[in-house]
Structure 1
Amino acid sequence: MNDAIQYDYRPEHLANSEPNKYQPGDLRKEEMVLNVGPQHPSTHGVLRLEVITDGEVVMDVVPHLGYLHRCFEKHAESLPFNQIIPYVDRMDYTAAMNSEHAYVMGVERMLGIQDDIPPRVEYVRVLVAELNRLASHFIAIGTYAMDIGAYTPFLWMMRDREQILRLLEWTCGARMLYNYIWIGGLFYDIPVGFEERCGEFIKYLKPKLVELQQLVIENKIFIERTANVGILSLATAINYGCTGPILRGSGLRYDLRRVDAYSVYPELDFDIPIGKGEAGTLGDCWDRNWVRVAECWESVKIIEQCLEKLTAVHARTRNFDPQALVPKKIRPKAMDFYVRAENPKGELGYFFRTDGRADVPVRCKARSCSFHNLSVIGEISKGGLIADLVAVVGSLDLNLGEVDR
C-alpha cells in the first residue's frame, strides 16, 4: 500500500501551479474541495462557491456565476432608451429606484437636459431613492442576522421594509420593479397625502432604528461573531474596485452623492459614515454592517429634508407636469458616455455608445457594484474558518441579479 500512486485531486489552477507535496498521513496538506451553493440560502441567490479547505480552514474561495442570466446589456442594445428602464429595475431588484435614477441621469446628460429638470422632480427622485436605500439596507441587515443565527431582526426588518414598499407602491402601482423615474421627469407626481404619510413613517422608524442597534449591532453575540472576521484592508478594497459600504467599512469616506454631487444632494445635509474598527479590526464584518445601520440614519435625515422642500419650497401646483420634459424621441449625439451614482451596494455605472442616428444604444454596459464587491471574497476568506464563510458572504450584501446581469 505504501507504493500506491498518490493522486493530486486539487483544482487544476492549484495543481498546475504547485507540485504535489502530499505525504502519507500528513492531513494538514490534504486539501478538499467543497461546493457551497448555488441553492444554499446564505449565498443570497444562485451563487456557487468552490471552497478549497484544509480541515476547517479556508485556503481559497472561487466564486462561480452563470445561474441567473438577466441579459440586461443585450436587451438594452435592441430597445429605445425609454424602454430600457424596466430592465434596469431587474438587475438589483432590491434597489430599483436607485438603479433607475442612475440610468435616467445618464441619458439626460447625453441629451443635455439635466439642468432643465424641475426641482420638484429632482427632490421626488431623491426621496424615493432614499426610501429604497432604506429598504435595501433593511434586507441586508435582516438577512445577515439570520445567516449567522438570529431570526428576530429579520422579522423586524421585513416588517418595516413592508411599509416602505407600500409607500413606493402607492406612487406607481408596482411593489418592487417600479419604472417610476423617467427620462426627463417621472411617471407621475407623488400622490396627494404622500408627504404626510411618509413623515408619519419616519417618526415611527426612528425608535425602531434605536432598537435595531441595540438588538444587532451592539449585541455581544453579534460582535463576537463578526468582529475580526473577513477583514478587508483599505488597499485591497481599492485594488479590487470595491465601493459602497464595503469600501467605507474599510475606512475611506467615499460616497458619490458627495464626490460627484449629482441631483440635489449638494443642497442636503448628511454625513458619510465610515468604519473605525471600534469592535474589532478596521474593515471586518462588523464594520460593514455598522456602516449600513449608520447610513439608515443618514437616509432618514435626507428624507426629512426632501419632505420639507416638497411641502414648503417646491410644493405641488395645479399646472405641474412631471412629464413636461419627457422627449418623444430620444436620439443622443454620437458619443461614448459613462455615468455613475451611489447605489445602496456601491457605485452603479452605465456606459453608453451611440451613433447619433438611432434611438437605440449601439452599446450599453452596466458597471455592477455587487460584481466588484464579490470579487474580493477569496482574498478576505483565506485563513478563516468554514463557519465564518457565511458571515463573510453575507457582509458583502450581494445581489446576484446584478452580478450575473
Structure 2
Amino acid sequence: MVEKHIQLAENSVEKETTTINLGPTHPATHGIFQNIMEIDGERVIKTEMTVGYIHRAFEKIAERRPYSQITPLTDRLNYCSAPINNFGWHMTIEKLVGLEVPKRVDYLRVIIMELARIADHLVCNSVIGVDTGALTPFTYVFQWREKIYEIYEGICGSRLTTNIGRIGGFERNFTDDTWKKIHDFMEGFPAVLKEFETLLTRNRIFMDRCIGAGPISAERALNWSMTGPNLRAAGVDYDVRVHSPYSSYNEFDFKIPVGSAGDVYDRYLVRNGEMWESYRIIQQALDKLKGMDSSIFHADAPEFYLPEKADVYTKMEALIYHFKIVMGETDLPPGEVYHSVEGGNGELGYYLVSDGGRTPYRLHFRRPCFIYYQAFNEMVAGGLFSDAVVTLSSINVIAGELDA
C-alpha cells in the first residue's frame, strides 16, 4: 500500500508525503510485523508500529498446560537464543517450589546460556552488516552459529527450538562428543570474532551508515523500560546477571559493556563486547567444572525428573513417577513469583501465579522486544528511511518475542 498526501507547508507551498508499509512481509523487517511509515522523500516523518500477525496466545495456552509442557512455548519467544528462555522458565518453577539445584547444573546452564547469547548476537550484528551492504561477515559467522546449534543438538536433539533442560537440571548428561564440540568452539571462536570485528568495526562505510543512526538517550531508554544491549548502548550498565544474580553468576568475573550515544554503532559495539565477555564466562565455567562429580546433571527432585527407563520397566515407584510427570499430575504449591534472566535482548521475566493446581493460574511473559519496540518511532522520526531499516536491525526485534 502506498498513499500520497498533500500537506500545506509553513511557507504555504504544497508538500507531498508518502505512506508506505514496511512489512509485514518485507525482507527488511526480519520478521512478521509492520511499520506504517509516512515519509517525505527519504526522510521519515513518523511511523506507526503494528503487531499481532503471529499472535499465538502463549500466556492463555500456558494456563491450560502442565508446568513441564510450557517449556516448548518459551522456545518460540526469542528463538535466536531459545535455551535462555527455557532455563529462565525452569528457574521460575524452582523458585516457586524452593528447589535448589547442584552447582554443576548452574555451571552447565551458564555454558549453554552464554553460547546462546553469542549465537543471538552473531545474528544481530551480522544482519546489521547485511543491511549496510556487507554480506560476507554474515555468511562467515553463521558457520559458527551452526557449531553452537550442533552443541544444542548433542545435548537435547534440537537446534533452533530446543526444549533444552528440565525443571531441576538437564534431561541427560553431556556426552564426550558434546564436550569435544564445546572445547573445539572455544579454541576457534576468538580468531573468528576478531576477524569479524576487523571486517566491520573500523570499516568507513559501515561506520558512516551506523554512527548517529537511530539514537536514544539513557533517560528516554529508561522511560521506555528498555533493558539489555539497547539500554546498555545508551550508557546504563543494567544487567540482570549482575543486579539479580541467578545460576551462580555472582561467582563469575565479567564486565558489562556500555555505550554512550545509544545509536546503531553503539549497539553493535556493545553486542560485540558482550560476545567477548560471554566467551570469558564460558571459560570460567569450564574451569569451575574441573574436579566436580561429572555424574551430576539434575537435582534430587523425583517429582520433576523422569526416572531411568530401565527402572520404569522394573520398579513400581519409578513407573508411577514417570506417569505422573508425563501426564502433568504434579501439583505445585500456591504462590506468586517473578523471576527474570538476562536474555539476548534484555530482561526476560516470568510472572507466575499458582493456585496450587497442576497448571498456572496466571502466567505473564515479560518480553523485552515488545517493550523496546514501542520506542522505534522516537528513534527514527526525522531520520532517513535507510537509517530506519538499519535501526530496526540493531535493536534486534524478534517477531516471536514481540508477538507472544
TM-score, normalization by structure 2:
0.89
Offset, 1:195: 2.9
Number of the residue aligned with 2:403: 404
CA drift of 1:260 comes to 0.2
Using the TM superposition, give the Cα deviation of residue 335 of structure 1 relative to its aligned residue in structure 2, in angstroms.
2.4
Instruction: Tell me the equivalent position of 2:163.
Output: 179
Q: Is the 8 A contact 2:59 2:364 kept in 1?
A: yes
In the TM superposition, 1:133-152 aligns within 5 A as: 133-152=117-136
Return the offset for 1:330.
Answer: 4.1
Mapping of residues 104-183 of structure 1, within 5 Å: 104-113=90-99, 116-183=100-167
Query: In the alignment, which residue of structure 2 is the partner of 1:378?
Result: 377
Counterpart AA for 1:180: I
Q: Does 1:245 align with 2:229?
A: yes
Distance 1:89 1:346 in 2: 16
1:184-263 paired onto structure 2 within 5 Å: 184-263=168-247
How far did 1:67 drift?
A: 1.2
Query: Is the CA contact (8 Å cut-off) linking 1:94 and 1:135 kept in structure 2?
Result: yes
Contact 1:146/1:154, CA 8 A, preserved across alignment: yes
Q: Deviations over 1:45-93 (max 9, x none)?
A: 0111011122221111111011112321111010011110011111111
Residue 387 of structure 1 corresponds to 386
Mapping of 1:4-403 within 5 angstroms?
21=8, 26-28=13-15, 30-113=16-99, 116-276=100-260, 282-310=261-289, 312-317=290-295, 320=296, 322=298, 324-328=300-304, 330-356=330-356, 358-403=357-402
Q: CA RMSD in A?
A: 1.9
Contact preservation (8 Å) 1:180, 1:188: no
Given that residues 76 and 84 in structure 1 are in contact (C-alpha distance below 8 angstroms), is that contact kept between their aligned partners in structure 2? yes
User: Equivalents in 2 of 1:293, 1:89: separation in Å?
Assistant: 24
Give the residue type in structure 2 aligned to 1:52. Answer: E
Does 186-195 or 236-245 show the bigger shift? Answer: 186-195
Code of the residue aligned with 2:90 in structure 1: it is V
Give the drift of 1:178: 1.5
What is the alpha-carbon distance in structure 2 between the residues aligned to residue 71 and residue 216 of structure 1?
39
- The worse-fitting range, judged by mean Cα deviation, of 65-74 and 239-248 is 65-74
Report the alpha carbon displacement of residue 170 of structure 1 after superposing the two structures with TM: 0.7
Q: 1:337-370 CA deviation, whole Å, 9 max, x = no partner?
A: 21111001101011111112x1100111101011
The 3-state SS of whatever aligns with 2:45 is: strand
2:350 aligned counterpart, secondary structure: strand
Measure the CA separation in 2 of the matches of 1:192 and 1:366. Answer: 35
Displacement of 1:313 after TM fit? 3.3
Q: 1:381 to 1:283 in 2, by over 3 A?
A: same
User: Closer, same or farther in 2 for the Cα pair 1:245/1:23, shift >3 Å?
Assistant: closer
Aligned to 2:268, the other structure's residue is in SS state helix
Check conservation: 1:185, 1:325, Cα contact below 8 A: no
Alignment partners' CA distance in 2, 1:187 and 1:74? 26
Inter-partner Cα distance in structure 1 for 2:196 and 2:347: 26
State the SS of the aligned residue for 1:144: helix
Structure 2 vs 1, CA of residues 301 and 315 (structure 1 numbering), >3 Å: closer, same or farther?
A: farther
Give deviations 1:196-246, integer Å, cap 9, x for gaps. 431221110101111111111221111110001111100110011111000
Kindly indicate whether the alpha-carbon contact (under 8 Å) linking 1:309 and 1:315 is maintained by their aligned counterparts in 2. no
